[in-house]
Amino acid sequence: MNAEPREIERKQNIKYYKQTTYERDNKYNKFYKSKEWNKVRQLAIVRDHALCKDCLDKNTITPYNTVHHIKPIKEDWSKRLELKYKFKRWNKKRNKI
């Protein structure tokens, strides 16, 4: 008997997640799959020779593997395609941003 209320609650939680998170973030998910983002991302790679900006500041050469927005696009959607607001980091530093 206890399994039924838990299953109902689980389904409600999934529905809530889809409504609040997935649908809300769908705009951003689509952006990161867009041709426009891929073009700007490639320009950022070429601009900085695919090297980690933070590592270069410390006189260390480390290839990067992630392009980030300096200001998250959720905070300023209007700058999402402006190259001057992009930088690269070595992935191990991702959690420190």
User: How much is the pLDDT for 97?
Assistant: 45
- Tell whether 12 is covered by a domain: yes
95 found inside a domain? no
How confident is the model at residue 35, as a pLDDT? 96
d(CA 97, CA 87): 12
Q: How many residues does the chain have?
A: 97
Q: Hey, what amino acid is at 70?
A: I
> 62 is in which domain, residue-wise?
5-88
How far apart are the C-alpha atoms of 10 and 7, rounded to whole Å?
A: 5
The answer to the question of residue 93 being in a domain is no
Residue 94, in any domain of the structure: no
Amino acid at 19: Q
- pLDDT (tens digit, 9 = 90+) per residue, 54-94? 888 889 898 887 888 888 888 899 999 998 888 776 665 44
Residue 22 lies in a domain: yes
Please count the structural domains in the chain.
Answer: 1
Tokens of 2: 């206890």
| Residue 96 resides in a domain | no
Structure confidence at residue 40 as a pLDDT band (50, 70, 90): very high
Say if 75 falls within a structural domain.
yes
What 3-state DSSP class applies to 70? coil
**Is residue 43 in a domain?**
yes
Q: Is the pLDDT of residue 95 over 50?
A: no
Q: Which residues pair with 40 in a beta bridge?
A: none
Global pTM exceeds 0.95: no
Q: Residues 63-95, buried b or exposed e (16+ Cβ, 10 A)?
A: ebeebbbeeebeeeeeebbeeebbbbbbeebee
Report pLDDT for 36: 95
Please report which confidence band the pLDDT of residue 39 belongs to, taking 50, 70 and 90 as the band edges. Answer: very high
